Amino acid sequence: MTAILSAEDLRYAYPGEGPALCSLSLQIETGRKLAILGPNGAGKSTLLLHLNGSLRPQQGRVLLGHQPGDYSRRGLSQWRSRVALVLQDADDQIFAATVAEDVSFGPLNQGLAEQVVRARVQSALTALGIADLAGRPPHLLSGGQKKRVAIAGAVAMEPEILLLDEPTAGLDREGADQLIAVLRQLGQRGMTLVFSTHDIELAQTLADDVALFQGGTVLAQGGAEAILTDAALLARAGLRPPMLVDLWLMAQARGMCPAAGPMPRSSEALLALLFAETPPARCAV
Amino acid sequence: MAIATLDRAASLNPWRQRALAEKALIGFGFLALALLLPPWPGALLVSLAICAFTFFGARVPLRLWLTTAALPLGFLASGALMLVVEIGAGGVALAPGGLVPAAELAGRAMAATFCLIFLAMTTPMADLFGGLRRLRVPGELVELALLTYRFVFLIADEAAAMTAAQRARLGHSSRRLWLRSTAMVIASLLPRALARARRMETGLAARGWHGEMRVLSTRLPACGRRLALVVAVQLAVVLAVLAVVGLG
Ligand SMILES: Nc1ncnc2c1ncn2[C@@H]1O[C@H](COP(=O)(O)OP(=O)(O)OP(=O)(O)O)[C@@H](O)[C@H]1O
Ligand SMILES: [Mg+2]
């Protein structure tokens, strides 16, 4: 595995504040889904803003492949073509008069021809399941719909890496589930995904890898299973293991399911583990 | 009447799909007639014609139209009243010779208002901006207008959310509290709007923005026959007015 984007020893403080990031290092690997997991104020958003060159570190550097980030006008433009960022608040990114127009903004900035842009807009809207909203004015959409418009705007740029700040914040259960399905599909198409969240359940559902954040630095980075099952480590970031993992570990301790094997990612998967021997006749609820 | 309601109505209107040129010819064409023709009977005929287009053509719901028209018509009525009456030493009296000019002004303004309402109810701002761009209005101006328009909604949302939050904490329970709370909203709206603008700049930069807001817009072809029909109606209005004025 090679890192396509990495941060080396970053330090950043907002003017007049203490450091928001300090000696932070992180690797993002091609084709994987990385969760930036940490409590409020840990510095997740600040890190994402560094990863697409919106903020410039006061110390340390960001590497694209092996190349240090280029903060010139042209460099940033290429950087942002490869690394797209979706902000937490969709209203900060949507501006055009209709959904389709808005989604066309990024690809047009990339200098693509109109025909290509049209096709990209269409496929991004379809991928996000909002093709029927194409002609609607964005300010009349619901929060979840706006979020998808913002993501479609990034996807239409066909970036190698998609950074998402709190992608499910403000969405209801169904909206979040739909979004998770969409993100999985994008991952299957080979897009590298990085998302910040304080929702450990989301990290468990979606992430391949987890970087655990606390106080502006990475406490640990590794496979989702290794991090999310380490209760002591999670406690240092003020988090608790997901309930599913809790149950799974307890079941293991009581010999109710095999002590090894991959972490279950859904209730169904846990149920299947627990009742692997006993046929599901009596537990099919 | 919230501006969002107006825009929603316009984007759901059956004439939304019509070419901008057709709607502009109706709206601005009759507007010009309302301003140029002698108010009697010009204003009346223009009002009738534009209302026919509004209700029978674009099928704007009457109730929506009434709520929209109420505010400007109210202003108009009170403005006209000011012209008619005169407050002097002897109390309130009719201004000598004030009646006819006041009626003419009110009639003209009313017809013009109907024309603008027709446009507002059939054409979302979005389409108007697209049209401005096609007319080669300088891009910077259109972008400025577009961002301002977006910001009106954002700031209105922000103000509404703040007001609701205050109301929930009883900030509006008396006249004095209301005044204080409203002053607080106004005072913190600007810094909030600025912070928002800064975040928006980051957000747009992340999408490769470098100073130019280019988007793809869909263009609808205008129908020559419908344009001709509109011009015919407008000519008929002009001829009718000339005939009446000539007779009188
Ligand atoms: N624009 C800003 N100006 C000054 N300080 C800021 C700004 N944005 C964030 N901070 C501070 O930097 C620190 C890290 O903030 P950041 O927004 O990166 O955290 P986060 O992990 O994204 O939190 P959350 O989960 O609440 O979004 C916080 O202490 C915050 O107060
Ligand atoms: Mg954040």
Which two three-digit tokens encode residue A228? 């999310």
Biggest distance spanned by C-alpha atoms of chain A: 65
Task: State residue A13's pLDDT score.
Answer: 95
Domain that holds residue B39: 2-247
B215 in Cβ contact with B139 (< 8 Å)? no
**Cβ–Cβ pairs < 8 A, chains A and B:** 106
Looking at per-residue confidence, does B220 or A232 come out higher? A232
Statement to judge: residues A114 and A247 lie in one domain: no
- Looking at the structure of chain A, the number of domains it has is 2
Q: How far apart are CA A80 and CA B202, in angstroms?
A: 12
Q: Domain with A77 in it: what CATH number?
A: 3.40.50.300
Q: Which of A103, A115, A21, A10 is nearest to A62 (CA)?
A: A10
What is the C-alpha separation between A52 and A64, in angstroms, rounded?
A: 10
Q: What is the pLDDT of residue A285?
A: 45
pLDDT of the residue at A283: 47
pLDDT of residue B175: 82
Looking from the CA of residue A213, the nearest atom of ligand 1 is 21
Q: Are residues A47 and A137 in the same domain?
A: yes
CB A186 within 8 A of CB A162: yes
Show the beta-strand stretches assigned E in A51-101: 59-64, 67-68, 83-86
Residues A148 and A181 in one domain: yes
Chain B positions in Cβ-Cβ contact with residue A81 (cut-off 8 Å)? 208
pLDDT tens for each residue of A236-247? 988 888 888 888
Residue with CA nearest ligand 1 atom 6:
A14
Give residue B2's pLDDT band: very low, low, confident or very high (50, 70, 90): low
- On the CB side of A184, how many CA atoms lie within 13 Å of its CA? 11
A256 and A143, same structural domain? Answer: no
Residue A284 in this model has a pLDDT that exceeds 50: no
pLDDT in tens, A113-148: 999 999 999 999 999 999 999 988 887 888 889 999
The pLDDT tens digits for A195-251 are: 999 999 999 999 999 999 999 999 999 999 899 988 899 999 888 888 888 888 888
The answer to whether the CB atoms of B203 and A104 lie below 8 A apart is: no
Q: Are residues A35 and A119 in the same domain?
A: yes
**Closest Cβ opposite residue A139 in set B153, B204, B215:** B153
Dihedral angle at the C-alpha atoms of B139, A97, B123, B136, nearest 10 degrees?
A: 10
CA-CA distance, A109 to A30, in Å (whole number)? 25
Lowest mean pLDDT: which of A49-58, A87-96, B51-60?
Answer: A87-96
Query: Can you give the residue range of the structural domain that contains A271?
Result: 242-285
Residue B86 pLDDT > 80, yes or no? no
How far does the centroid of ligand 1 lie from the alpha carbon of residue A184, in Å? 28
A246 and A236 in a common domain:
no
Q: For A49, which residue in chain B has the nearest alpha carbon? A: B202
- Give the amino acid at B137: V
Q: Is the CB of A105 less than 8 angstroms away from the CB of B203?
A: no
Q: Are A141 and A90 contained in the same domain?
A: yes
Burial class (CB in 10 A: 0-12, 13-18, 19+), B225: exposed
A118 vs B4, B125, B216: nearest CB: B216
Pocket test for ligand 1, best of A46, A51, A92 (most atoms within 8 A of CB): A46
Give me the percent of chain A exceeding a pLDDT of 90.
60
Query: Do A232 and A191 fall into the same domain?
Result: yes
A53, A114: one domain: yes
Q: B235-244 long-range CB contacts below 8 Å, 24 or more apart?
A: B237/B30, B237/B33, B237/B37, B237/B42, B237/B45, B237/B46, B237/B49, B238/B33, B238/B37, B240/B41, B240/B45, B241/B37, B241/B38, B241/B41, B241/B42, B241/B45, B244/B40, B244/B41
Widest distance between CA atoms in chain B: 70
Task: Note whether B216 contacts A117, CB cutoff 8 Å.
Answer: yes
Q: Cβ of A189: how many Cβ atoms within 10 Å? A: 11
Q: Model confidence over A45-83: pLDDT tens digits? A: 999 999 999 999 999 999 999 899 999 989 999 999 999
Kindly provide the ipTM of the predicted complex, given to two decimals: 0.78
Q: Are residues A173 and A276 in the same domain?
A: no
The count of structural domains within chain B is: 1
Give the domain-ending residue among A240, A255, A271: A240
Contact (CB, 8 A) for A179 and A172:
no
Regarding whether A253 and A210 lie in a shared domain, the answer is no
Best residue among A45, A54, A92, A163 to mutate for probing ligand 1's pocket (most ligand atoms within 8 Å of CB) is A45
- Other Cβ atoms less than 10 A from the Cβ of A246: the count is 13
Are A280 and A192 contained in the same domain? no
Range B143-163 average pLDDT: 75
Task: Work out the angle between the directed axes of helices B99-122 and B3-12 (0-180°, nearest 10).
Answer: 60
pLDDT at B213: 67
Q: Which amino acid residue places its CA nearest to atom 2 of ligand 1?
A: A14
